[in-house]
Amino acid sequence: MKADSALSYSRIVERYARLLDKPEARLRFLNNTLARQSVSRERADAVLSRFPRLKGTRLYEHLLKLWLYQLIFNELTALLPKGSGHRRHIASFKGGAPLVSRIFFNCYKFRYAVAAPLALACAASVYGLYLGGAWAARGANDLLASYYGTSKTKTVAAPAPSTVYAQTLPGGLPDYRPEKVWLVESGEGFERYSNGARVLTTLETTNHRRGFYAFAPGESAARRDAAKAARELKREPVGIVYHTSENDMLPFTPDNSDSIEVRSRGLLEYVRRHKSYNYVIDRFGQIYKIVRDEDAANHSGNSVWSDSRSTFVGLNESFLGVCFETTMSAGAEERLTEAQLVAGRLLTQVLRSRHQIDDAYCVTHGLVSVNPSNMRILFHHDWARGFPFAAFGLSDKYALPPASVAEFGFTYDEETLEKLGGALWPGVAQAEEQFGASAARAGSKPEEFRRQMKDAYHDRMDEQRRARLAAGGGSESPGTAAAEED
């Protein structure tokens, strides 16, 4: 077999030797190529000695033949003239060498030029096979779906009620459960809670003790006197009102850190002096307790909020006041810092857990503030838009009809609209419809019914003041009276 292979290799080399015109060049080509092929075979034998089963097979012979062609092409490239003389030389012997030999040699010469197109062709073929496979898979899926009477999108059945899965609120926030929040540590000037909230108490002060009534929504005048005698005085806060400080603001940048803290200290001193809020959250997210929870802060004045169970007026007494150091004139992206968002959510969890506050009673000042002198809503407009209820784990109160409009008939004018950029929150329209329906049931025109409900609001505010006095609030101080008339 070895002798046959040598003869075969000699014939191959002779065919390519015809590309050379000079006899001495042909002889040199034959000798060099065959000698190198012999050396290559010896090296191949040494390498493949580890694989005795491969030696003597057709694959072994094919590998040797490929090496022979490599040697042939290298020798020809070295012996043939370069440049234009090379082209004339090949043309003069065009008919001397076999056609296949000339084709193979030219392919070798231009191997780099054709490599890129071949690679692209291979990539296109592979991609075509992929598309064809994907198309076939979709077709098979459609066929099976039609055969078994199912759609391509399978509806997953809801889990059994007894099955519990981990839930995540929108935005990846943890859920709220009162039992998850408790006081961990109370030290000199601070409180630390299980949810991570840290409240500074160095500025904590007192005010008059809470005292308020919960009114039945839609309570008629005929039943009002009887209801007064049956009212129960309440002292535990039932809700939270969120405020903005509306003080001068500096850009929230590193170079303003010291100046921002100076302004925060000024705000805190003002709030403590006027007992304006129960809590203040500065721009760096620090929570300060100002007026203790058991006492009323002067934060909401004339105000109304209600759900289907109870209506509250004068929310100083019944709701906690939480103020963020910010202003409504700031852009939506700048109104709250990230630290304030986190701190506000943590404080909300603490207060809801401590006082068992329902989500329905967590609202903003702009949604509860009223002016009874002209029966207008939105006497104060802080957080009348843009409060991130969802980020605080709360439902959207902008979608609810405010009791000031739905129950008491408060309305709005052009100045009110200007405060909100020309549009009220969605719940107002629904509240107006509810008030119109109540007027119709009472057999009154809306304007006449509105006058009646104005008197009802003042009557309830008078009851609220008496409740505060009954709770030990003492006589009305000028600051308190002014706060209630806000």
CATH 3.30.420.240 is right for the domain spanning 177-484 = no
Helix (H) or strand (E) holding 287: strand 287-289
Residue 470: phi, psi to the nearest 5? -65, -25
**pLDDT score at 174:** 75
Split at pLDDT 50, 70, 90, the class of 100 is low
Split at pLDDT 50, 70, 90, the class of 38 is confident
- Give yes or no for residue 360 having a pLDDT over 90: yes
Where in the chain are the domains?
2-109, 177-484
pTM: 0.64
**pLDDT score at 308:** 81
pLDDT tens per residue, range 213-235: 999 887 765 566 666 767 889 99
- CA-based nearest residue to 453, from 370, 362, 363, 343: 370
**pLDDT score at 412:** 93
Report the range of poorest mean pLDDT among 90-104, 225-239, 306-320: 90-104
Structural tokens at position 372: 């009874």
Split at pLDDT 50, 70, 90, the class of 136 is low
**pLDDT score at 63:** 67
SS3 333: coil
Report the range of poorest mean pLDDT among 47-56, 84-93, 199-208, 312-321: 84-93
DSSP string computed for 193-241: ETTS-EEE-TT-B--PBP-B--BPTT--HHHHHHHHHH---B-S--EEE
How far apart (Å, rounded) are the C-alpha atoms in residues 322 and 364?
A: 9
